Amino acid sequence: MTTSLPVNLKHAKDIHSGVDVPSLHEAVHPERTLWSATQLHELTVEVATTLATPLLDIVRFDTTERWWTRLALTMGVELWLLSWAPGQGTEPHDHGGASGAFTVTIGALHELYVHAGGPPRTADWSAGDTVAFGPQRAHQLRNTSARPAASVHAYSPPLRPVREYRALADFTGL
């Protein structure tokens, strides 16, 4: 899900044409090189709320494979829109040392997650719910409902490769 941004463009930003509006240009703070989990939380809430209609125009549901598109990329943050047909989900994974957040925009998602050194836990998230996390967390998301779901995700630092695990119990932290 990651691509690259030229490193010589310190304040560069790449914005999806479907959400290329001044409010998103301001929200991604191209001068910020590292975002906290709290800032990522605020970003996904803002994007999910203020860009709800354009996101509905962009999102696609594919029953054969998971669908996603990058909404924005700067030197400090990457922002994604993901869809989840019923039954679709991820393998257990972390975010390569990045902090992250996601806001459910449509439907509901079930999450199995673990913090380094802790026991696995579960949570159910519905449209409007937001989760923020630091780098010492791995998880698995799945749409366990009969209806489609969508979510906005943000990660910082950007472009970190996701590390997958056979099971969340294999995650020991960084």
Q: Residue 174: is its pLDDT beyond 70?
A: no
The two counts, helices (H) then strands (E), for the chain are 3, 11
Query: What CATH number has the domain bearing residue 41?
Result: 2.60.120.10
Q: Residue 164: is its pLDDT beyond 70?
A: yes
Tell me, yes or no, whether 64 lies in a domain: yes
Average pLDDT over residues 117-132: 96
Lowest mean pLDDT among 3-12, 48-57, 94-103, 124-133: 3-12
Q: Residue 102: is its pLDDT beyond 70?
A: yes
In which element (H, E) is residue 123 found?
strand 121-126
Under 8 Å between Cβ of 77 and 40:
yes
Percent of the chain with pLDDT over 70: 93
Tell me, yes or no, whether 87 lies in a domain: yes
Tell me, yes or no, whether 171 lies in a domain: no
Average pLDDT over residues 121-136: 97
Tell me, yes or no, whether 2 lies in a domain: no
The tens digit of pLDDT for each residue in 58-78 reads 999 999 999 999 999 999 999
Average pLDDT over residues 26-44: 96
Tell me, yes or no, whether 111 lies in a domain: yes
Q: What's the gap between Cα 80 and its chain centre?
A: 6
pLDDT tier at 107, thresholds 50, 70, 90: very high
Q: How far is CA 122 from CA 6, 44, 119, 139, 167, in A?
A: 38, 21, 10, 9, 14
Under 8 Å between Cβ of 23 and 50:
yes
Tell me, yes or no, whether 165 lies in a domain: no
**Cis ω on the peptide bond leading into residue 157 (within 30° of 0)?**
yes
37: domain range?
22-155
Average pLDDT, the chain: 92
Tell me, yes or no, whether 169 lies in a domain: no
Q: What's the gap between Cα 40 and its chain centre?
A: 9
The tens digit of pLDDT for each residue in 9-33 reads 455 689 999 999 999 999 999 999 9
pLDDT tier at 5, thresholds 50, 70, 90: very low
Count of domains observed in the chain: 1
Average pLDDT over residues 80-88: 98
- Quick one: pLDDT at residue 99? 97
Q: Residue 2: is its pLDDT beyond 80?
A: no
Under 8 Å between Cβ of 88 and 142:
yes
Tell me, yes or no, whether 133 lies in a domain: yes
